[in-house]
Amino acid sequence: MSRSTPATAGPTDTTHRPRTSVRAPTRLPKGNTAVRVITWNANRTHRWDLLWADPLVAGLAWDVICLQEVGNPDVAHWTHAQGPVWSQDRAARDTDESFVQRRYTYQPAHYPAALHITHTEWGNRQKNHLTIITQTRPSWATELGGAMSDRPVLGIKVRLALPTGPADVLLGCVHLVANRTKSPRELGVLVPYLDRMCREANAQGWLLVGDFNCSPTEMVQSAGSTVGVWYPPFPTQDSVGEPIDYVVVEPHLYQAVMAMPGISGNWEQGTAASDHRLVRYTQPNGPALQVL
């Protein structure tokens, strides 16, 4: 599959349906898309130029970009908006398990408006740089996983316009531990904490986007919790023959979305690449997603 142009997966979403039932919505607003998300593990190298040049990113047909192992913020080009000023001195930035959040704005060349970048660092946690990029500024962003996993989870709050009414949802950028046996169990440990975070944030569910370091089948079979999964029908990393970058969804939210008549899913591969491929997931005929 060529990396020079985006490659489009088939129009049918490949999913696992959890054993959870909710009443199906009775109607669907047409012409919208839901969960237009991009995910990419940049593998700890300064690859911002590859990100901005990718047609899937530059076309702005996305709501949220979730990045893992992004490395340092591009302070030479970004405008600092909130949080401590970045220091190249690692010792000056180290924290004990707590996270440091920095917000920036940046308008890449030929983009019509500035983007909002939430860059988060955990000084003493594995794979400690997670970043969420949005086209409107998130009013709420925090750690969603607490100390419940080896690696942290950066989350924002979004609203899905379901036919039954708006649903506020937590959306997390995640990078689970690189162990195909341990990573599903790590998600299973996270689920009760994510559910608790939903109650505290008055949210009606959660979805996680990112690098899960195991196949969707392994995730579903070994997580120890019932979850829904949206995943591409092609590999997303050089050394693994199955996708490991995808979306995991709280089961009630999953069923509420997938019960909609006419909904489908589409995965596309972008041009940006490390040892992982940048991928975008969209849901034609689904509810719109709004960053809160």
Residues β-bridged to residue 120: 101, 130
Let me know if residue 88 belongs to a domain. no
| Rounded Cα–Cα distance for residues 102 and 91 (Å) | 17
Distance CA 248, CA 230 (A): 6
pLDDT in tens, the chain (292 residues): 323 223 333 333 444 433 322 222 223 233 456 789 999 999 977 799 999 999 999 999 999 999 999 888 899 999 999 998 887 776 666 554 467 889 999 999 999 999 999 998 876 554 568 999 999 999 999 989 876 666 788 999 999 999 889 999 999 999 998 888 889 998 988 999 999 999 999 999 999 999 999 999 999 998 877 899 999 999 999 999 999 999 999 999 999 999 888 899 999 999 999 999 999 999 998 889 999 9
- Whether 87 maps to a domain, the answer reads no
Question: Considering the domain boundaries, does residue 89 fall inside one?
Answer: no
Domain for residue 154, yes or no?
A: yes
To 5 degrees, how large is the angle CA 213–CA 215–CA 218?
105
Q: Which two tokens stand for residue 189?
A: 């440990």
State the sign of the Cα–Cα–Cα–Cα dihedral 102, 142, 133, 44. positive
Under 8 Å between Cβ of 265 and 283: yes
Residue 118 sits in a domain whose CATH number is 3.60.10.10
Give the DSSP H/E element, type plus range, for residue 57. Answer: helix 55-58
Number of compact structural domains in the chain: 1
| Nearest residue to 253 via CA among 292, 195, 185 | 195
pTM for the predicted model, two decimal places: 0.87
149: closest CA among 177, 181, 116?
177
In total, the chain counts a number of residues equal to: 292
**Cα 99–211–141 angle (5° rounding)?**
35
Please indicate, yes or no, if residue 5 is contained in any of the structural domains.
Answer: no
DSSP assignment string, 24-86:
PPS---TT-EEEEEEEEE-TTS--HHHHHH-HHHHT---SEEEEES--S--TTTSEEEESSPP
Token pair 């019932």: residue: 226
Structural domain harbouring 112: 14-81+97-291
In the numeric block, which tokens belong to residue 80? 């600092």
Q: Is residue 7 part of a domain?
A: no
Q: Kindly give, in sequence order, each residue whose CB lies less than 8 Å from that of residue 147, ignoring residues fewer than 6 positions away.
A: 97
What are the CA-CA distances from residue 95 to residues 85, 122, 123, 230 (Å)? 15, 7, 5, 34
Does residue 47 sit within a domain? yes
